[in-house]
Amino acid sequence: MIKHLSLVHLSALVAGLAALCAFGTPTTVSADDVQTSTASVTFTMPKDSAVAASDMPTIDFSSAKVSSSAQDVTADSVDAPVAVTNPGFANAWSVSVAASDFTNTDNTQQIHSALLTFDATAAQSGNADSVATAPTVTDTTITTGGDQAALVKADRNGSAGTFTTEFASSAVHLHIPAGNTAGDYSAKLKWTLTDAIE
- CA dist list (Å): 72 to 6, 89, 118, 176, 188: 117, 40, 13, 6, 19
Instruction: Give the pLDDT score at 17.
Output: 46
**Domain annotation covers residue 42:** no
Determine the Cα–Cα distance for residues 171 and 34; give it in Å rounded to an integer. Answer: 59
Contact 169, 143 (CB under 8 A): no
Instruction: Give the pLDDT score at 69.
Output: 92
Rounded to the nearest 5°, which phi and psi values hold at 19?
A: -65, -40
Instruction: Give the pLDDT score at 43.
Output: 80
Determine the Cα–Cα distance for residues 146 and 14; give it in Å rounded to an integer. Answer: 107
Domain that holds residue 80: 52-195
| Helix or strand holding residue 152 (H, E) | strand 149-154
**Domain annotation covers residue 24:** no
**Domain annotation covers residue 60:** yes
Q: What is the pTM of this model?
A: 0.77
**Domain annotation covers residue 14:** no
**Domain annotation covers residue 13:** no
Give the CA diameter of the chain.
140
**Domain annotation covers residue 21:** no
Q: What is the mean pLDDT of each run of 10 residues along the chain (198 residues)?
A: 39 49 60 91 84 94 86 96 92 94 94 96 91 94 97 87 96 94 94 79
- The structural domain count of the chain equals 1
Instruction: Give the pLDDT score at 57.
Output: 96
**Domain annotation covers residue 75:** yes
Instruction: Give the pLDDT score at 145.
Output: 96
Determine the Cα–Cα distance for residues 135 and 89; give it in Å rounded to an integer. Answer: 14
Instruction: Give the pLDDT score at 136.
Output: 95
Q: Among 65, 61, 177, which Cα is nearest to 112's? A: 177
Query: What is the DSSP code string of 27-94?
Result: PP-PPP------------PPTT---EEEE---EEEPP----SS-EEEEEEEE-S-EEEEESS----EE
